[in-house]
Amino acid sequence: MKSLLAALFMLTALAAGAAAVEKKPFDKTRFDALRSAGEVVLVDVFADWCSTCARQQEVIKAYVADNPERELHILEVNFDRDKEWVRHFRAPRQSTLLLYSGEDQIWFSVAETRPDVIRAEFDKAFVAAARNGQ
């Protein structure tokens, strides 16, 4: 019985990890390299205390889980700590999302939480990346 419970626990942990969204702190070198390689990059300007950001995270997490074949690179800019990058991206507030397909910025959004809108923009970015050979 113990081994069955242990196996069940491990399967649950693996499933949870598969749906996890891999986010990295914003780094200009990484950002530039990903864009040069034609990748799809989401710059997520967020704050830990922001309820709108939390709703956006749920949509992003669901999109990643539903599209495991698509590699969405997410770089986080902390609204409270990363003021240089907040200004650089002209983010008027937390919950700002900037989406790039290669070198092109294809979407800029403030406080968007509608799943259909966010998903459609992600889909457009991947279509553009595929069209450009990525």
Who contacts 86 (Cβ-Cβ below 8 Å, separation ≥6)?
45, 77, 79
pLDDT of residue 132: 81
Instruction: State the pLDDT at residue 4.
Output: 41
Average pLDDT by stretches of 10, the chain with 134 residues: 44 44 93 97 98 97 96 97 97 97 97 98 95 74
Query: Whole-angstrom Cα distance, residue 84 to residue 37?
Result: 25
Going from the N-terminus, what domains does the chain have, and what CATH number goes with each? 20-131 (3.40.30.10)
Q: What is the pLDDT of residue 134?
A: 54
